[in-house]
Structure 1
Amino acid sequence: MGKGDASSHREEHPHRVRRAVAALLGVVLVAGGAVAWQTGQAEEWWHDLRGDAEAPADPAAVAPPPEVDVPDVVRPAALAPAAAGAGPLDRAAVAAALRPLAAKDLGPHVLAAVAPLTGTGFAYQATEGTPVAMPASTTKVVTSAVALFLLGPGKTFATRTVLEKSGTTPRLVLVGGGDPYLTRTPASADDGTSPTYQPQRADIRTLARSTAASLRASGVRVVRLGYDDTLFSGPAMNPRWEAGYFPEEVSPISPLWLDTGRTADGSTRVKDPSGTAALEFRRELARAGIKVAGATAHTAAAPTATAVAQVTSPTVAQIVQRLLEVSDNNAAEVLLRQIGVADGGGGTFAAGQAAVARVLKANGIDLGASVLYDGSGLSRSNRLAPQVLVDVLRWAASDEAPQLRPLLAGLPVAGYTGSLDDRMDHGPAAGRGRVRAKTGTLTGVTSLAGIAVDRKGRLMAFALMADRVRAPKATLARTAMDDAAAGLGACLC
């Protein structure tokens, strides 16, 4: 069985895309690294969007894992003149940096693409044989980009209650809005992981108490209870997933769940996330002083129902930050359903992927032989060309798509944060901290897709993929791919 990884418009001046900022891309300050390229502005924009009381964590302040030997962060008194972030890359230098991809541990099918982060053309392409490969969790780069584009970075999703006053006892309906991070209580928002950034989550206890207060103010003390999860439809488990993915890898996808469909103690996943959420809400409602009569019913809220209370999710930008950092399969699949809803096709896997293909095509990204069946990359039927991943990253860096900046800002920093916090510790030391990338891991598959800044300050996008790795070689294959990515940061390209 394969396993997935572990979670205001600003007009940009055209010339800014030609300059680099290491504050976004890495930890080590390099010559020209702190000049005002637009992804550096994205960090400020991202901070404003998050609304944090404190400044966002500087990756330089994040202690590397103890087993990683990295050079000290250098903070020069005065920065050197800005290095050009754009322009052609030296093809020979890029090829030399990627020599670790020739390692036999990676197996017979290794694909790669490297290109300047801005402009057109590729500095390196290796697509011998089949030009597409299983992308694993690098699929989340595509899902996140389309979600930011179609939904908007500031979009939130509301879990709400409405009241239908027909009959002698009014019916209260809990309506799922597709919040991927709704929790049972404020305390359960701590899921045991230690990401660099943890968004503020909504919880069902707060919703129940707000609902009870509103009902009492209206003179209502007794209700019948229903729950509505009709925002999403179709199968809750993707037919292209392996049967064993539940409960180990992913929950049945629902617009109404608690703690990503897990039990209260977090030990496993529940078969009916919506029903479980409704029962938990019923208990909290009773604790808040509202009596619930009869059984809890699965229903669809009437359009004429009166709004009672609601809680809202983190923004799409915050969700993307979280899911990229910890490679959150569940949040990625909820976002895919939200993409389908926003595109008018409905909350199904198929509608979400149709919307992804349409949005990419509309933005000049040719899928060619690539095909995706989910949003997380768990499906072993997914196929992506590395050039598609590179083009999505370049789209996120373009002047035409400022709303996609959280994608770049959310990529883990090699050797420091998220799914890369213990990676790239064997490659060139000069490359550590200069790479941000999304990992991809399935049985027999290892991949990386992200951005790097080399020692000249050149910005590049890359995608490295191998999908025929022999099981005994999995760790060595991952190290070889890490060394290649670190090489891009260390090179003079």
Structure 2
Amino acid sequence: MTPAVIARSTRTGCGAASPRCSVWCWSGVARSHGGPGRPRSGGTSSRGDAAGPADPAAVAPPPGVDVPDVVRPAALAPPAPGAGPLDRAAIAAALAPLRDKDLGPHVLAAVAPLTGTGFAYQATEGLPVAMPASTTKVVTSAVALFLLGPDRTFATRTVLERSGTTPRLVLVGGGDPYLTRTPASTDDGTSPTYQPKRADIRTLARSTAASLRASGVSVVRLGYDDTLFSGPAMNPRWEAGYFPEEVSPISPLWLDTGRTADGRTRVANPSATAALEFRRELGRAGIKVSGTTSHAAAAASATAVAQVHSPTLAQIVQRLLEVSDNNAAEVLLRQIGVAEGGAGTFTAGQAAVARVLKANGIDLGTSVLYDGSGLSRSNRLAPQVLVDVLRWAASDRAPQLRPLLAGLPVAGYTGSLDDRMDQGPPAGRGRVRAKTGTLTGVTSLAGIAVDRKGRLMAFALMADRVKAPKATLARTAMDDAAAGLGACLC
């Protein structure tokens, strides 16, 4: 399989059960050509049945047309085995760039077959854990997919309370990380990052207005409910300067990930901002809103009015992994807490992550995570944990985790890796999919690679004592090591 084909697989993801197909297949081929056993168009085959397209060699030419026999080309290469033992010496040679002094004195690495058990290579000198930075999102995404399922969506809705002389309409946040102000353009297929179709507050306001008018309501009071999440909106383990530069206050009700309409900065109260925007759109849609907009939990007896739905969790995961979206990752951590422990807090979310990993045979050991994005400099993670999570996602026992692997950026082609790994072995481009991790003094990569023998492996490479002037050089050394895994004969 060529690097170009591998790169395109991230555009649509894969639905097959086998880890090899779900990681490396180009589902765009199946979609545009019908796929195995499917007609190319119209629902029937060229033979007039629904059995799929006929073998071209079995189709007779039209009367009077003389054509040569179909020649079947020989295979260009034997099928790639996917699994198999890895050569430790070959892996060590491929990872030689990790000895670069620019990476600093604390460099950890782990490499293993994508399927099976055991490790082909481990380097854990000194402390066995390191600051993971955004590779933390691999763990968060895996647990979210496991608990909620790849098809899960999150609804932002309106409900009506008919109390008092004027009924109260309540805007209820459901934890949609990508709710927007207005209908957003969708992915045009040429961007290096995936852009799912998003729900928007304008559409919700118009649907709500139409439903209210149909029930004879033209004037309402307005409230907003963001009680799905609780606890502090900013993680106490984060640096004070993260707002507004790096992350918004985490809320189940926000617009454009908590940013202002022009996208230039983040707002201090995303829920209230969303409610005010909704109020304006409701007025434009012909519903009068009286009084002030209040913060209140919706009554259990309220009547449903309208709702809009987020992209699926699989689509959310792909987007957040490709662009390393801190905000979306933190919303998913809260959703994990709600699903597993009934509380949408940072602590409930992270406790649920630890429980789910343990229940699935992944030992955290001395690893500890305090958030879902990796922004906390207090996080510590062993590279073996990241590798085990990737292998969990590839295993037959967890098919719902496949979007994690399919959503990883492709080296040299998509997302946060579209302009990386261009100085290492050329054969590594397109053969490596990985999540990046970057903080001051930290550079890391965790992902999967297919070597030139076709063997699939999971890897995690981490360095967390990089001197600031060496940051770019350290990142290049890390990239070269990862590209070496794709280029090697391991």
TM-score, normalised relative to structure 1: 0.86
How far apart are 1:22 and its partner, in Å? 6.8
Written as runs of structure 1 = structure 2, the 5 A alignment for 1:305-384 is: 305-384=302-381
Q: 1:41 aligns with which of 3, 10, 21?
A: 21
AA paired with 1:460?
Answer: M
Please say if residues 150 and 400 of structure 2, whose CA atoms lie closer than 8 Å, have aligned partners that are also in contact.
yes
Written as runs of structure 1 = structure 2, the 5 A alignment for 1:184-333 is: 184-187=181-184, 194-333=191-330
In the alignment, structure 1 residue 26 sits paired with structure 2 residue 6: yes
Looking at structure 2, the residues matched to 413 and 124 of structure 1 have their Cα atoms a distance apart, in angstroms, of 23
Looking at structure 1, the residues matched to 23 and 112 of structure 2 have their Cα atoms a distance apart, in angstroms, of 23
Looking at structure 1, the residues matched to 143 and 339 of structure 2 have their Cα atoms a distance apart, in angstroms, of 11
AA paired with 1:464?
Answer: L
Please say if residues 107 and 468 of structure 1, whose CA atoms lie closer than 8 Å, have aligned partners that are also in contact.
yes
Aligned-residue Cα RMSD (Å) equals 2.5
Looking at structure 1, the residues matched to 5 and 107 of structure 2 have their Cα atoms a distance apart, in angstroms, of 25
Looking at structure 2, the residues matched to 279 and 116 of structure 1 have their Cα atoms a distance apart, in angstroms, of 52
Say which SS state the counterpart of residue 175 (structure 2) adopts: coil
| TM-superposition CA deviations, 1:324-374 (whole Å, max 9, x none) | 000000000000000000002410000000010000000000000000000
| TM-superposition CA deviations, 1:404-452 (whole Å, max 9, x none) | 0000000000011100011001111111111000000000000000000
Say which SS state the counterpart of residue 465 (structure 1) adopts: strand
Q: 1:96 aligns with which of 93, 114, 118?
A: 93
Please say if residues 430 and 489 of structure 1, whose CA atoms lie closer than 8 Å, have aligned partners that are also in contact.
yes
AA paired with 1:392?
Answer: V
Say which SS state the counterpart of residue 246 (structure 1) adopts: helix
In the alignment, structure 1 residue 484 sits paired with structure 2 residue 464: no
- Distance 1:432-1:347 versus aligned 2 partners, 3 A rule: same
Written as runs of structure 1 = structure 2, the 5 A alignment for 1:96-245 is: 96-187=93-184, 194-245=191-242
- Distance 1:189-1:237 versus aligned 2 partners, 3 A rule: farther
TM-score, normalised relative to structure 2: 0.87
AA paired with 1:134?
Answer: M
Looking at structure 2, the residues matched to 43 and 449 of structure 1 have their Cα atoms a distance apart, in angstroms, of 15
Looking at structure 2, the residues matched to 82 and 53 of structure 1 have their Cα atoms a distance apart, in angstroms, of 24
AA paired with 2:231?
Answer: G
Say which SS state the counterpart of residue 343 (structure 1) adopts: helix
Aligned to 2:454: 457
How far apart are 1:78 and its partner, in Å? 3.7
- Distance 1:53-1:242 versus aligned 2 partners, 3 A rule: farther
How far apart are 1:80 and its partner, in Å? 1.7
Say which SS state the counterpart of residue 174 (structure 1) adopts: strand
**Larger CA Rg, structure 1 vs 2:** 2
Please say if residues 28 and 433 of structure 1, whose CA atoms lie closer than 8 Å, have aligned partners that are also in contact.
no
Aligned to 1:467: 464
Of the structure 1 ranges 37-46 and 456-465, higher mean CA displacement relative to structure 2 is found in 37-46
AA paired with 1:38?
Answer: S
| TM-superposition CA deviations, 1:237-283 (whole Å, max 9, x none) | 00000010000100000000000000000010000000000000000
Count, aligned residues? 445
Looking at structure 2, the residues matched to 80 and 28 of structure 1 have their Cα atoms a distance apart, in angstroms, of 21
- Distance 1:490-1:392 versus aligned 2 partners, 3 A rule: same
AA paired with 1:228?
Answer: D
- Distance 1:87-1:45 versus aligned 2 partners, 3 A rule: closer
Q: Which structure 2 segments of 5+ residues have no match?
A: 10-15, 36-72
Runs of 4+ in 1 over 2 A off after TM superposition: 21-29, 39-48, 51-56, 76-79, 187-190, 193-196
Looking at structure 1, the residues matched to 285 and 8 of structure 2 have their Cα atoms a distance apart, in angstroms, of 52
Aligned to 1:389: 386
Looking at structure 2, the residues matched to 275 and 237 of structure 1 have their Cα atoms a distance apart, in angstroms, of 16
Aligned to 2:79: 82
Say which SS state the counterpart of residue 26 (structure 1) adopts: helix
| TM-superposition CA deviations, 1:70-111 (whole Å, max 9, x none) | xxxxxx984422132112100100011101000000000000
How far apart are 1:197 and its partner, in Å? 1.8
Please say if residues 196 and 418 of structure 1, whose CA atoms lie closer than 8 Å, have aligned partners that are also in contact.
yes
AA paired with 2:383?
Answer: P
How far apart are 1:41 and its partner, in Å? 3.5
Looking at structure 2, the residues matched to 399 and 231 of structure 1 have their Cα atoms a distance apart, in angstroms, of 33
Written as runs of structure 1 = structure 2, the 5 A alignment for 1:419-430 is: 419-430=416-427
Please say if residues 80 and 453 of structure 2, whose CA atoms lie closer than 8 Å, have aligned partners that are also in contact.
yes
Q: What percent of counterpart residues are identical?
A: 86
Looking at structure 1, the residues matched to 228 and 26 of structure 2 have their Cα atoms a distance apart, in angstroms, of 29
Say which SS state the counterpart of residue 93 (structure 1) adopts: helix
Q: Which structure 1 segments of 5+ residues have no match?
A: 1-20, 30-35, 57-75
Please say if residues 3 and 430 of structure 2, whose CA atoms lie closer than 8 Å, have aligned partners that are also in contact.
no
Looking at structure 2, the residues matched to 202 and 279 of structure 1 have their Cα atoms a distance apart, in angstroms, of 17
Aligned to 2:51: none
Looking at structure 2, the residues matched to 54 and 295 of structure 1 have their Cα atoms a distance apart, in angstroms, of 55
AA paired with 1:254?
Answer: S
Looking at structure 1, the residues matched to 416 and 245 of structure 2 have their Cα atoms a distance apart, in angstroms, of 18
